[in-house]
Structure formats: structure tokens, C-alpha cells
Amino acid sequence: MRRSFTLVGVLLVLALFSNVPWLITGSSHCKRTHSAAIRPHSVTITEFGAVGDGVTLNTKAFQNAIFYLNSFVDKGGAELFVPAGKWLTGSFDLISHLTLWLDKDAVILGSTNPDDWPVVDPLPSYGQGRELPGGRHRSLIYGRNLTDVVITGDNGTIDGQGTIWWNWFLTKTLTHTRPHLVELMNSSGIVISNLTFINSPFWTIHPVYCSHVIVQNVTIRAPLESPNTDGIDPDSSDNVCIEDCYISTGDDLIAIKSGWDEYGISYGRPCRNITIHRLVGQTRTSAGIAIGSEMSGGVSEVHAENIQFYNSNTGIRIKTSPGRGGYVRNIHISNVRLTDVKIAIRFTGLYGEHPDGHYDPEALPIIERITIENVTGDDIEYAGILEGIEADTFLDICLLNVTLNVTSNSPWNCSYIQGYSDSVSPETCESLRESISPHHHSDCYHLSSHLLNSSNQNRGSRLLSW
């Protein structure tokens, strides 16, 4: 029943916005670095004693199966097939040149016993667990220092059974930071596709220190009130492509990160070349696409287009703070449709939340060259709340063809923001009212040339591409 509800929910959303053709079809922007050839060796999890009754703990079966398949790493790789059933397990490791394939009626269930999620060291770019000092529980599906890993199937389900973890968080009885559902570290050539992920204890999909990652055709769900259940969080990673996803969770749907305060500055690995296409979702508490707040290693070259958010707190958000250091630059977001969203665009320069008292408050972030164009919205409360930092103005913020039906009498609120705009309704704040002209083209990152030319010729025209 759970999987059927997921599919019906997605179809209802697609039907609601069926006049937007890119929601249903679109060419792939994701370029795979490894072949999609069938693995020459395959085993089924039942061959290692697994029982799919939803009660038997199968951690050893998963571990033993992957240990066996490790002998085929240099022989073309291998596939671990998970058939129909409910397969309860604790955390297990993946290996290189592996495909984990779930049947359409397969459900991998995360154990509700915290002892089945081992505690591991904090990430070096964070300095401690994200929620508590010290270590953190390892993700349900985990891997590090891997190459060529595929997690896929025929829309099978990975269920973190996160309710117990959310309760521990809300009652402040956790002893370590909660686990993610999937985390891959220091790895490359990763594909996660054609699956449903539900009820993660914490962030759902977390590639950290990775290169060449594809997340494609996935559904991610958690209750809208569940705490910090982010959807996809590329973290200090490069060449990440996310497309054709539906996400409905209790926190940011996509959060792009790169380390926390002095630890992220010291580790110094940026998040860059992030591509997002055809994303649909909702979040009552947070943002559809967020950058930060942990961005101390830097974030750049983010391209997102053909986005739909509804029933949400915020559409697009950048979060940072004195002490973060780092930078967010060269961001281009276009073709966005918002419905029943409280704040369409939000920049927060005083987010706070520091890992400890050792951060340098003089480490100010650089926020520059952010372009947002072709945005429409209905039932929006605030068009934008854009708050920079005193003596650290956010620069070259460019807005073009933004049309929002706003309910607030004060649609824009800006401080320590500088930039340009054209064809924005309601009229934006004074610090962004200088019109975009040809000599601003280099300031406005990746601004579409034909849109710029058309805008200068006819400021009142609607140039949305759908």
C-alpha cells in the first residue's frame, strides 16, 4: 500500500501541473562516466539466508553477499538483487563496481534498533556530528572510497523507519547525530535511480566528497513535520546531476553544502558543478532548493531549471552567517513555478548555528553573481526577503522576468544587497532596481542573452519558456 500511495501522489502532482510539459518528459542532462552494461555476475540476497518477512534481521546476509561479490570487482563487477519482500537490516557497506537492484515490490527496511547503525567519526569538514558533539550514526546504505556504484531498480523502496529517530530528536534523548538513509564518501561514478526513499532518520541521500554523481528518477518522501529530513544534499562534491525527482519532506528538498565554519574552511573542498532539472516537491518548513547553511568550503556553478514547488515555506534560499567564510557564487536558477509558497526567494546572512565556539566571527562569506530568472508564482506571501550582512554586501544579485501574485503589503524586504533587475512584479527593492543592461551581462551570471535582449526591447513581455 505504501508504494502505491507514493505513485498515486506523484501522478496527482503531475496531473495538477500537466500544462507544464517538462514535468512529464525531458532529455537527460546527466552524463554517465561509466558504462551502463549489465554486470557479468549476479546473486540474490536470499542465497545468503535473507528472509523478507519484515521481522528477521538481515544485516549479516547483506554483509556476506557483498563480501562474496567483492571477488568480482576486477572481473567486470557484480549485481546484488533484492526480490519482492520486506528486508529488515542494519547498516551495510557497498563496494566498487556494484549494482544494488531492488525489485518493484522489494522494500529494504532500516532497523529500529540504534545498535544496528554503528557510530562513526564525524566528517572532517564538520568537526563533529551535525546535531551533537562527537561521532554520528552511519547511514543505512554506506560506502567510501568507491568507484562505479549503482543503486537502482524497478521503483523498489528503501524505508528508513525514521519515526523512532525523530522522537529521540524531539525529546532530546539522542546520544549521537542521526544517520542518513544513503551516504557515499570520497567516491566517484555514482548512480542512484528509479527508486523510492521514505522516512529517513535524517538527511536522505548524502554524497559527500564525491565526484560524478547522478540522482535520477527518484521519489523521496517523509512526513512534512518530520525534523531535518532533507531530500538530496550534495556536500563538498562536484559534477552532481539531479533530474526528474519528486521530493516531499520535512526540511530542504535539495540542500547544497560544503562544510561548517572553521572545519569546512580548513578542509577546503568546494561543492561545484551542480545541475538540477525537472524537480517537483513541497516542504512546509524549509526551502525547495537551499544553498547552505554549511557552505564554508565554497559553492559555485549551480544550474537549476524547470522547477516546481507548492505548499512550501520557501522556494529558493541561500543560508550563511559570519564565521562561515567560503563563498556562494555563479548560481543560475531559471524556469521556476511556485504555488502556495510563503517566501519565493530568501537570502539569510545571519543564520547562526555554529559547531562550537572556535569559529572566527570575522570569517565573512562572499555571496555574488546569483541570477534568478523566469519565475512565476501564485498565492505567494512575500516575493523576497533578502538579508545580507553588514559590511559584507551580497553582490550582483540579478532578477529577470519574475512575476508573483503576492498577498503581503510589503512584498520585498532587502538589506545589504546589491544587484540588477528587469521585468519584476511586484517591483523589487530599491537596491535591485537598476535595470539590467548589456554592460551588466558579465555581472549577471549566465544570464540568457536572448532574454536580456528581449527584456531591453520590451520590459513588459512575458518570456517564460513553458
Give catalytic residues, as residue numbers: 251
Under a CB-based contact definition with an 8 Å cutoff, are residues 157 and 180 in contact? no
Angstrom distance (rounded) from CA 449 to CA 465: 14
Which one, of 377, 332, 328, lies nearest residue 348 by Cα? 328
* Location of C-alpha cell 561514478: 189
Angle of CA points 102, 108, 114, to nearest 5°: 150
Q: Residue 259: how many CA atoms within 13 Å on its side-chain side?
A: 28
Number of Cβ atoms within 10 Å of the Cβ of 96: 17
Under a CB-based contact definition with an 8 Å cutoff, are residues 277 and 243 in contact? yes
